[in-house]
Amino acid sequence: MQKTKVTLIYWGLSLFIFLALLPWIFNPTIALYSIQALAIYGGIIVAFLGGIIWGWEGLNASSKNLWLAIGFSLLGLGVSLATFINLPSSLILLILSLQAFLRFEKKNSTYFQSNIKYANARNLITNLVTICCITSLAFLYNPYT
């Protein structure tokens, strides 16, 4: 099961990388749609990550964690909706929410703590998605586009 989780994490990363590279290759119209898609996809991922907390068992299944799960899911929705209002703010919110969830998962998930391969993949993927968001922000603020 752990191998499947890690494999799916990397497949999910591939879409982030693809969407972050598109703006640098194609015209500005496609670029904006690509960055919006990246932010919306990121918001969906944050909401999904919030939802996995509901599957935690044992000591991790506290009511506090369930409320935080709802908070992360709403944060993911907020990232997606902010995309249509202010794209750069949406990307910054996405970065903050992904890093916050990683920190929360490190502290509270026994699965994360007991499976080093999964933990390493989650750390790497979160940081690579953050780089994708920063790359998209760089495109948005690039004076030469």
Percent helix, strand and coil across the chain, each to the nearest 5:
90, 0, 10
On whether residue 121 sits in a domain, the answer given is yes
Is residue 145 assigned to a domain? no
For 115: left if phi > 0, alpha if psi spans -120 to 50, otherwise beta; the answer is beta
Q: Which tokens belong to 89?
A: 């703010």
Query: 3 falls in which pLDDT band (50, 70, 90)?
Result: confident
Give pLDDT tens digits for 46-104.
Answer: 999 999 888 887 766 778 888 999 999 999 999 999 999 999 999 999 999 999 999 99
Domain assignment of residue 72, yes or no: yes
**pLDDT, tens digit (0-9, with 9 covering 90-100), for 99-122:** 999 999 999 888 888 889 889 999
Q: Closest Cα partner for 36 from 98, 76, 79? A: 79
Residue 104 maps to which CATH number? Answer: 1.20.140
Domain total in the chain? 1
What residues make up the domain containing 29? 2-140
> Has this prediction a pTM greater than 0.75?
yes
